[in-house]
């Protein structure tokens, strides 16, 4: 399978590249700066460019079977997410690719019917604008005509190890017996490539946690 990965310079994007290559995919990445990705592989093509530039995504994705996006932004840069979502959809469509998988946020997951993680009184105030931007981007992806999938991590995600042992949910936050919701970046990436290999969540979202 030939895929393009956007946002490969981030922790999740780098792990998606590694996981996809290990599964035998031919991977193209679009990066502003080639030095941001240290992965070397015969099946890896690195293109330098800004995904926010008109036509950049379409050019990188042309001839691919799927687009995977791990594009993210730091707190304070949340408004980039909806803009990027629109450009990702437009670029994917212009390239003639129908399959899109997005590694998104967890703030829109539900803790109870109608109650989102980001609505909790103790949700960090400084992260709320970013969560709101993720929520807006999610709605943009969900309204597209693509065969989209939105993957939400657990409430807490950090680098760790790849266990291959995790649970899958839909819109409800997945927690363990102690009420914790966490996942490693490595297992989050593994679950996304699982979905690429064996689609189960076309035009819907899923979440991954231990």
> Are residues 129 and 137 in contact, defined by beta-carbon separation less than 8 angstroms?
no
The ranges assigned to domains in the chain are: 2-209
Q: What is the pLDDT along the chain (210 residues), one digit of tens a residue?
A: 999 999 999 999 999 999 999 999 999 999 988 888 888 999 999 999 999 998 999 999 999 999 999 998 766 666 789 999 999 999 999 999 999 999 999 999 999 999 999 999 999 998 899 999 999 999 999 999 999 999 999 999 999 999 999 999 999 999 999 999 999 999 999 999 999 999 999 999 999 999
CA dist 193 and 19 (Å) reads 7
Q: Strand order in 167-169's β-sheet?
A: 44-48, 26-31, 2-6, 66-69, 99-103, 147-152, 204-209, 167-169
Domain 2-209: CATH class, spelled out: alpha beta
């Amino acid at each position: 399978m030939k895929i393009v990965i956007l946002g490969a310079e981030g922790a999740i994007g780098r792990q998606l590249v590694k996981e996809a290559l290990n599964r035998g995919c031919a991977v193209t990445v679009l990066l502003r700066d080639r030095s941001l990705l240290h992965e070397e592989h015969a099946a890896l093509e690195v293109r330098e460019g800004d995904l926010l530039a008109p036509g950049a995504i379409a050019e990188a994705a042309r001839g691919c079977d799927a687009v995977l996006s791990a594009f993210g932004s730091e707190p304070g840069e949340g408004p980039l997410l909806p803009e990027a979502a629109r450009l990702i959809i437009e670029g994917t469509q212009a390239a003639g690719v129908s399959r899109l998988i997005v590694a998104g946020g967890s703030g829109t997951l539900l803790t109870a019917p109608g109650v989102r993680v980001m609505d909790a009184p103790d949700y960090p105030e400084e992260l709320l604008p970013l969560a709101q931007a993720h929520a807006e981007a999610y709605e943009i992806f969900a309204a597209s005509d693509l065969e989209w999938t939105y993957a939400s991590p657990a409430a807490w995600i950090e680098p760790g190890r790849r266990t291959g042992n995790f649970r899958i949910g839909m819109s409800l936050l997945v927690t363990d017996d102690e009420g914790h919701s966490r996942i490693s970046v490595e297992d989050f990436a593994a679950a996304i490539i699982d979905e690429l290999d064996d689609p189960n969540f076309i035009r819907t979202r899923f979440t991954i946690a231990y």
